[in-house]
């Protein structure tokens, strides 16, 4: 197997397209929601749609199409996708909400002049996804895999 064979795999194409396109889509979605071009979204977690959810769903759907819906590999991919989506909407979202509250406490302490300004470093607040952002990622990932299936013949 040559390294380039990887890039011919419809599952790999689905994975790369799902992740990259979802990540790129975050910038215009953020602009339409908040009238602000936030180019940092290209490299950061969080935002609409969830690129983690899109990546895993596109891989899982492509595995179903190309390997079989009843294959152990599809079941494994489905389980991992469930964990990733749960983590994005649960653990990572809660960590972001906690970061927002900690940043608020630090700002209040600074405003009262009880903390030196040079020691203030904000925690990243947007690291998880709302259920809607994750669902959008799931639907986007499935759509990417369907498009790849229509364009790339079976293995």
pLDDT in tens, 5-31: 777 789 999 999 999 999 998 888 888
Burial of 147 (0-12, 13-18, 19+ CB in 10 A): middle
**At 39, phi and psi to the nearest 5?**
-70, -15
| Planar angle of CA 135, 140, 142, nearest 5 degrees | 95
Q: What is the pLDDT of residue 98?
A: 75
Express each pLDDT in 37-76 by its tens digit: 878 777 777 777 888 899 999 999 999 999 999 999 999 9
Express each pLDDT in 106-145 by its tens digit: 777 777 766 555 555 655 555 567 777 888 888 988 888 9
Q: Pick 50 or 93 by higher pLDDT.
A: 50
Q: What is the pLDDT of residue 64?
A: 95
Q: Would you kindly state where each structural domain of the chain is located, as residue ranges?
A: 3-90+128-151
Q: What is the pTM of this model?
A: 0.69
Q: What is the pLDDT of residue 154?
A: 72
Q: What is the pLDDT of residue 52?
A: 85
Retrieve residue 37's tokens: 């071009």
């Amino acid at each position: 197997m040559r390294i380039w064979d990887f890039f011919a795999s419809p599952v790999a194409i689905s994975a790369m397209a799902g992740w990259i396109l979802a990540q790129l889509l975050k910038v215009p979605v953020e602009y339409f929601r908040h009238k602000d071009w936030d180019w940092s979204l290209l490299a950061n977690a969080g935002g609409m749609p969830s690129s983690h959810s899109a990546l895993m769903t596109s891989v899982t759907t492509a595995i179903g199409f190309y390997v079989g819906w009843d294959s152990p590999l599809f079941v494994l991919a489905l389980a991992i996708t469930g964990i990733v989506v749960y983590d994005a909407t649960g653990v990572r979202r809660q960590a972001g909400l906690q970061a927002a509250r900690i940043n608020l406490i630090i700002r209040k302490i600074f405003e009262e002049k009880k903390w030196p300004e040079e020691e203030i470093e904000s925690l990243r607040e947007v690291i998880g996804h709302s259920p809607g952002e994750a669902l959008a990622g799931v639907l986007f990932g499935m759509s990417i895999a369907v498009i790849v299936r229509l364009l790339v013949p079976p293995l």
